[in-house]
Structure 1
Amino acid sequence: MKKELTVTYLRCEYKVNPLGIDTVNPRLGWIIECANPNQKGEKQTAYQVMVSSTKEKLDNNIADLWNCGKVVSDQSNQVEYAGKTLISKIECWWKVRIWGVNDNVTEWSKEAMWTMGMLYKKDWKAQWVGYDEWERREAEKDKLEFVAGEDKWIWYPMDKTEGEKGIGSYFFRKNFAIKKIEDTSSAEIIITADERFKLYINGKKIEQSDNYIFSWTRPKQIDISSYLQEGKNALAVECINTYLEKPGLAAKLILTNRNGEKEIIRTDDDWEASNRLHKDWVDPDLETSKWLNAKIVALMGDKPWRIPKTGLSLPPPPYIRKNFRIKKKIKAAYVYVSSLGLYKLYINGQSVSDDRFTPGWTDYNKRVYYNTYDVKRYLNFNDSNCIGIILADGWYAGYIGWEKGREYYGKNPRAFLQLEIDYEDGTTGSICTDKTWKASYGPIIEADLLMGETYDSKKEREFLGWNNSHFDDKNWGKIEISKEIN
């Protein structure tokens, strides 16, 4: 056959030159192109596939993995590999030729390749690593928190007002008395509202929620002792709701006397509520006969809110790194990397891929994906090298779905990496995540798929070159090792 037919666009498991294939009988496919667009009736009548363990062998037609011979068939997709049993991490180079209707054979296609992934549990040497120092620091802070089942969400009783939609401003009050102001050693309140709030104490505005979506997830903790007075006091809250969703207000005031005794004032149905603005509504002496009792709409921890946390409710993404040295010439180098959460991988300061949100969303209760990258070009021979990873909560531990909650699958993100190097002298080596890695927190202080990212540029100088081998990490912390994940 003259070069009227050619074989192009070779694919393995529907991908061009894929890395890390995890099936031992991958499916192959190709496209047939005809040089003469006016030629009719031409088609594939047979094919031959060669698969070799190196490009050099394939170029010399040495099919040490599979040579199917001439197979009479017009199949050009989902042709299942049926050669020698494939093992983990090997390269597979392949090409195809076909026969047309006149039994004339084409030239061999251009070569294509795939690599095998880690097929068996015994192939993995890496450990799941992370960094939980932020969690320990937060636990040491003296924070006021909401308690599941004890604290309550309230709202205006909309069922008692005809045509009430729940959109707009609603007003809430709670009076309380202090006998002797000098006996009160502290007074702290934690407060949040879905969608937003403004807090007044005895007629003075002292706080409001942040102006962004889901601001209810970050309650405000405020010391209000300087705003209190002897005798009658008034907590007054204006809540603003602009969505046709379930609104709510949650607050808890703790008054502590000099003997350490505490009085707790929680949002409940003893609070007063109104759907319209009253004159002097923030004053302690307001006459409230036309106000209604608030309605408890949920216990703390119930859907759709779960439990909002004070302070920085989004943990900072860990930065983790490892220095190592390569003393031999490299033949091939592939890195196998996964995470519980999302990761960004660097080698010697360079991002190894343009991929985003790796390794992707999965049901972490059933499976965890990993990615494979060819990283030979990033490594330094006879010199120091550095692997750096930024971890983020992602779908694993961050906000997900419409229930407005975090930690759906797990609490702490983890990384899992194994770098496999084949040297020109026939030996191999590996670099794995383990206890020798180091960790810290960098300029990215918050990262969440729904809440967005917060970046502290003041930390840039301190972290300049953090993913290069010359960086001084003596002040970085020890890595956390997690239990094996099946």
Structure 2
Amino acid sequence: MLKIVGLRCEYKENPIGIDAKNPRISWRLESDKRSVNQSAYQVVVAEDREFGKLLWDSGKVDSDQCVHVELAGLEAVSRKRYHYRVQCWDRDGESSGWSHDAYWETGVLDRGEWKAEWIGPSIGEGANEEQSPFLRKSFSVKEGIRHASIYATALGLYELELNGSRVGDHYFTPGWTSYEHRLQVQAYDVTDRLAGGENVIGAMLGNGWYKGFLTWGENKRAIYGDRLALFLELHIEYEDGTEETVSTDSSWRTAGSPILMSEIYHGETYDARLERNGWSSAGYDDSEWLPVERISQSNDILIAQENDPVRKIEEIKPIGLLTTPAGDTVIDLGQNMVGWLKFTVQGEAGSEVQIHHAEVLDGEGNFYTDNMRSAKQIIRYVLKGGEPETYEPRFTFQGFRYVRLIGFGENVRLDDFAGVVLHTDMATTGFFECSDPLVNQLQHNIEWGLKGNFLDVPTDCPQRDERLGWTGDAQMFIRTAAYLKNVAPFFTKWSRDLKADQTNNGGVPFVIPHVLDANSHSSAAWGDAAVICPWTIYLCYGDKRILEEQYDSMQAWISYIRDQGENELLWNTGFHFGDWLGLDSKPDSYIGATDRDYIATAFYAYSVSLVQKTATIIGKPEDAAKYGELYGRIVEAFTKEFVTPSGRLSVPTQTAQVLGLMFGLLEGTAKDRAVAKLMELLDESKFHLTTGFVGTPYLNHVLSDNGKLDAAYQLLFQKDYPSWLYQITKGATTIWEHWDGIKEDGSFWSKDMNSFNHYAYGAIGDWLYRVVAGIDTDESQELVGYKRILIRPQPGGSLNWAEGRLDTMYGEIRSYWKKSDDGKTVLEVTVPANTSAEVHLPGAWLDSATESGSVLSEAAGIASATQLEGAVAVAVGSGEYEFSW
């Protein structure tokens, strides 16, 4: 039985408000047979879900493509819902029949169509500019509403209410983008929220990233602007064919809200006595409210929402209540998390309670906040009195595990508190588990590092006065992230911001969005995010469009490097972070011992190689030839500069050997000597890493790719400092910024830069999925995105089983291997329909390996089986398999 499931438009299920004029759709096939492939498809698009009036029909197309199928020739128009469905045929001619119907809805496609005005609170004498404002509009509608949508954005953050209740489940809207160039507009279907007669729409605004404190240092705030503003249009379509629009304009009214202060870093102050009950409902008297002011702001920066929204994802109940040696009352949530604390309190009107947040306790068990630097992370709540009051913030988020309570009295009940986890709502795609509980905890910590730092942008830490989109951290972790979650929309949006913030000469800022000074740009390995991130999204999701969109940016980055210094083939000028936080750094230095010009030139070569591949993929053969020639010259110059005539690298560090090997810059004797030198350096450190941000993501890959699998596993299983598992022995529930954030004696590495939720070193997750579980994609053009799957597990160490699952654009891949006491190995594999796989059976022999009890040559779904050195390679079609040897 052939079935189509999982219809998506631009990665999303039934999206509304998108601005793609030629959207792409994707689907999956399901079948109970093996080796099922699509041979043809047909897509139809209609105005109605009955498909009575077709707008577009692909006809029967002979193709196995089911991912990112562009509806070429369909020119979408603004604010219209399009219904679509798909049928396909397999190679035997069997039809799936029509799929269920799905839809997408466009937003405003032409910026000239906007009619709304930008409005904000009036700023008068005595006004509290830090108080979040309410904005309100009462309006009447007729009976017979067919469809109604709100399109909204803000300078600052906004939250909408309609007829007394919250609109949507998105938080921190409109998100953080390069505000000078790009500002997202969110769309909400409110058809069922309107009724004939009086209706009221209201909004509350907060400072957010736009106006609030941002970056470190004194009074670094209002980087983008100092006036909050709302921009909104409500479009109503009636059954009689007429339309009506309610927009932000001078008729709106404004007043202060109970939020007296809201800051991303510092928290929120809320006075419940100032609540205005019914303020967003019909019948409310707003005669004492003030008129709004028009704000000058161009509409040219408006774009539709690109990223998945931030949502409340889950709630965590506290695991303990303790009194510290200093006498503080502290709640332990058991997990370092990002979001906020929801709490219930009862008391007299005017009394105040405070919530303070921290990631860790110090060596004596006291509440520790020094690593927050200037970020206060404090919630203040003033009670209105009477019945129990429940509160949670709106325009701030905290990074914390521990919460200090002030003003709650002695009878604290844990049931009155819950940690609300918020992050970008990316679909979970990865699962990894193995026989070692500490490695499983490491995988847990990696995932929670992503949860805590993927809040609209890929931040470096979610607790201190930073929380910025560091480019180096993002490119180091993106491949791991693509296993854990569907990060394609997330990084597409962020890559577009990178392109928007790129300097005129192609330089890439250290952080995206760019909020540091004008000279803070273009470090090697950081700026290379301009190339590595789009390439990785293409590789993992088969998304060719992101390469087409970002190609100019990728080229500009290469041009920037070529223009540096006197030799366009070596990058030996400018500032570089180097092997950041490498353990072989000099005292009082954050930069590892590996020469920075070596790192810069290695990444230069790597990025050029990726741009060459990109040019080929997007149909630019002349560019591909040009970059291929440049790459060859860079490698030649690299060899002359850093490799001695006898084949020894002149930079004797772990990271130097790793980069040269990982990026394919060494051949022959030089490659052999680099492998030997890396092993020598590991032996000298008693098999502990000394790598920093640059070398660590690649270290285990280099070892396992060069015949040193045992060494890679030995590094993975180390429990003393420095190692991944050391953090776990110290109680970590997320990845740390420093290998010794908490030292062996319980003291701290530093108070200046010591985040306990920092995902960079979590890049080991890529190795767990790709090597331990063995799930990878073929990188050949047309086979990326797991169209052709490589399942090549490499068991090792003390593990006796491991399982990895990955939900791809085609469906779920599964690889589960297990070693039994009698010396046999079992490998269970799932390959989605419309894909194929090359499966390696490590240590197997062709004449004795079986699949579901049959010899390989007789098993259904197996196209071929070949004996390799140390393994059997089996080519299979879709289906579930159980190999044994």
Answer yes or no: same fold by TM over 0.5. Answer: yes
Please give the residue correspondences for 1:205-220 in structure 2 after superposition, counting only pairs within 5 Å: none
Superposed displacement of residue 428, structure 1? 0.6
Alignment-mate amino acid for residue 280 of structure 2: N
Q: Which residue of 1 aligns with 2:47?
A: 53
Counterpart among 340, 357, 364 of residue 172 in structure 2: 357
Superposed displacement of residue 401, structure 1? 2.1
* Separation in structure 2 between the aligned mates of residue 379 and residue 450 of structure 1, nearest angstrom: 37
Q: Which residue of 2 aligns with 1:426?
A: 241
1:122 aligns with 2:112: yes
Q: Is the 8 A contact 2:122 2:290 kept in 1?
A: no
Superposed displacement of residue 483, structure 1? 1.8
Q: Which residue of 1 aligns with 2:102?
A: 112
Q: Which residue of 2 aligns with 1:346?
A: 161
1:322 aligns with 2:137: yes
1:141-186 CA distance string (max 9 Å, x none): xxxxxxxxxxxxxxxxxxxxxxxxxxxxxxxxxxxxxxxxxxxxxx
* Separation in structure 1 between the aligned mates of residue 74 and residue 59 of structure 2, nearest angstrom: 14
Q: Is the 8 A contact 1:14 1:29 kept in 2?
A: yes
Q: Is the 8 A contact 1:132 1:412 kept in 2?
A: no
Superposed displacement of residue 437, structure 1? 0.3
Q: Over aligned residue pairs, what C-alpha RMSD do you find?
A: 1.3
1:133 aligns with 2:132: no
Q: Is the 8 A contact 2:8 2:26 kept in 1?
A: yes
1:192-222 CA distance string (max 9 Å, x none): xxxxxxxxxxxxxxxxxxxxxxxxxxxxxxx
Deviating 4+ runs (over 4 angstroms): none
1:19 aligns with 2:13: no
Q: Is the 8 A contact 1:422 1:429 kept in 2?
A: yes
Q: Secondary structure at the match of 2:4?
A: strand
Superposed displacement of residue 482, structure 1? 1.2
Q: Secondary structure at the match of 1:45?
A: strand
Please give the residue correspondences for 1:98-109 in structure 2 after superposition, counting only pairs within 5 Å: 98-109=88-99
1:244-265 CA distance string (max 9 Å, x none): xxxxxxxxxxxxxxxxxxxxxx
Q: Which residue of 2 aligns with 1:256?
A: none
Q: Which residue of 2 aligns with 1:398?
A: 212
Alignment-mate amino acid for residue 400 of structure 1: L
* Separation in structure 2 between the aligned mates of residue 72 and residue 392 of structure 1, nearest angstrom: 52
Counterpart among 251, 259, 282 of residue 469 in structure 1: 282
* Separation in structure 2 between the aligned mates of residue 344 and residue 325 of structure 1, nearest angstrom: 22
Alignment-mate amino acid for residue 21 of structure 1: I
* Separation in structure 2 between the aligned mates of residue 367 and residue 343 of structure 1, nearest angstrom: 17
* Separation in structure 1 between the aligned mates of residue 264 and residue 297 of structure 2, nearest angstrom: 27
Alignment-mate amino acid for residue 152 of structure 2: V
Q: Which residue of 1 aligns with 2:231?
A: 416
* Separation in structure 1 between the aligned mates of residue 187 and residue 217 of structure 2, nearest angstrom: 34
Superposed displacement of residue 399, structure 1? 1.1
Q: Is the 8 A contact 2:146 2:239 kept in 1?
A: yes
Q: Secondary structure at the match of 1:377?
A: helix
Q: Which residue of 1 aligns with 2:65?
A: 75
Q: Is the 8 A contact 1:66 1:82 kept in 2?
A: no
* Separation in structure 2 between the aligned mates of residue 19 and residue 5 of structure 1, nearest angstrom: 29
* Separation in structure 2 between the aligned mates of residue 42 and residue 401 of structure 1, nearest angstrom: 53
Return the structure number with greater strand share: 1
Q: Secondary structure at the match of 1:87?
A: coil
Superposed displacement of residue 376, structure 1? 0.6
Alignment-mate amino acid for residue 137 of structure 1: G
Give the TM-score normalised by structure 2: 0.33
Q: Is the 8 A contact 2:2 2:94 kept in 1?
A: no
1:29 aligns with 2:26: yes
Superposed displacement of residue 469, structure 1? 1.5
Superposed displacement of residue 122, structure 1? 2.3
Superposed displacement of residue 451, structure 1? 1.2
Alignment-mate amino acid for residue 480 of structure 1: E
Q: Secondary structure at the match of 1:33?
A: strand
Q: Which residue of 2 aligns with 1:92?
A: 82
Q: Is the 8 A contact 2:22 2:74 kept in 1?
A: no
1:93-144 CA distance string (max 9 Å, x none): 000010011012111111100111101122110011100336x426xxxxxx
Q: Secondary structure at the match of 2:112?
A: helix
* Separation in structure 1 between the aligned mates of residue 66 and residue 176 of structure 2, nearest angstrom: 32
* Separation in structure 2 between the aligned mates of residue 371 and residue 474 of structure 1, nearest angstrom: 30
* Separation in structure 2 between the aligned mates of residue 437 and residue 87 of structure 1, nearest angstrom: 30
In structure 2, runs of 5+ residues without a counterpart are 301-885
Q: Is the 8 A contact 2:132 2:204 kept in 1?
A: yes
Q: Secondary structure at the match of 1:20?
A: strand
* Separation in structure 2 between the aligned mates of residue 54 and residue 339 of structure 1, nearest angstrom: 33
Percentage identity across aligned positions? 39
Counterpart among 188, 194, 200 of residue 373 in structure 1: 188
Alignment-mate amino acid for residue 11 of structure 2: Y
Q: Secondary structure at the match of 2:18?
A: coil
1:34-67 CA distance string (max 9 Å, x none): 1x2xx211111111001011223x2x4x32x210
Alignment-mate amino acid for residue 23 of structure 2: P
* Separation in structure 2 between the aligned mates of residue 318 and residue 458 of structure 1, nearest angstrom: 15
Alignment-mate amino acid for residue 214 of structure 2: I
* Separation in structure 1 between the aligned mates of residue 181 and residue 111 of structure 2, nearest angstrom: 16
Q: Which residue of 2 aligns with 1:481?
A: 294
* Separation in structure 2 between the aligned mates of residue 341 and residue 33 of structure 1, nearest angstrom: 45
Superposed displacement of residue 84, structure 1? 3.5
Superposed displacement of residue 5, structure 1? 1.2
Q: Secondary structure at the match of 1:325?
A: strand
Superposed displacement of residue 75, structure 1? 0.5
Q: Secondary structure at the match of 1:137?
A: coil
Superposed displacement of residue 402, structure 1? 2.3
Equivalent pairs, count: 298
* Separation in structure 2 between the aligned mates of residue 330 and residue 46 of structure 1, nearest angstrom: 41
Q: Which has the larger radius of gyration?
A: 1
Q: Which residue of 2 aligns with 1:388?
A: 202
Alignment-mate amino acid for residue 223 of structure 2: Y
Please give the residue correspondences for 1:158-237 in structure 2 after superposition, counting only pairs within 5 Å: none
* Separation in structure 2 between the aligned mates of residue 67 and residue 366 of structure 1, nearest angstrom: 36
* Separation in structure 1 between the aligned mates of residue 45 and residue 73 of structure 2, nearest angstrom: 8
Q: Which residue of 2 aligns with 1:457?
A: 272
* Separation in structure 1 between the aligned mates of residue 253 and residue 208 of structure 2, nearest angstrom: 22
Q: Secondary structure at the match of 1:440?
A: strand
* Separation in structure 1 between the aligned mates of residue 258 and residue 269 of structure 2, nearest angstrom: 8
* Separation in structure 2 between the aligned mates of residue 360 and residue 18 of structure 1, nearest angstrom: 17
* Separation in structure 2 between the aligned mates of residue 385 and residue 363 of structure 1, nearest angstrom: 35
* Separation in structure 2 between the aligned mates of residue 94 and residue 111 of structure 1, nearest angstrom: 6
1:439 aligns with 2:254: yes
Q: Is the 8 A contact 1:338 1:369 kept in 2?
A: yes
Q: Secondary structure at the match of 1:40?
A: coil
Superposed displacement of residue 69, structure 1? 0.5
Superposed displacement of residue 83, structure 1? 3.9
Superposed displacement of residue 444, structure 1? 1.2
Superposed displacement of residue 380, structure 1? 1.1
Alignment-mate amino acid for residue 286 of structure 2: D
Alignment-mate amino acid for residue 454 of structure 1: T
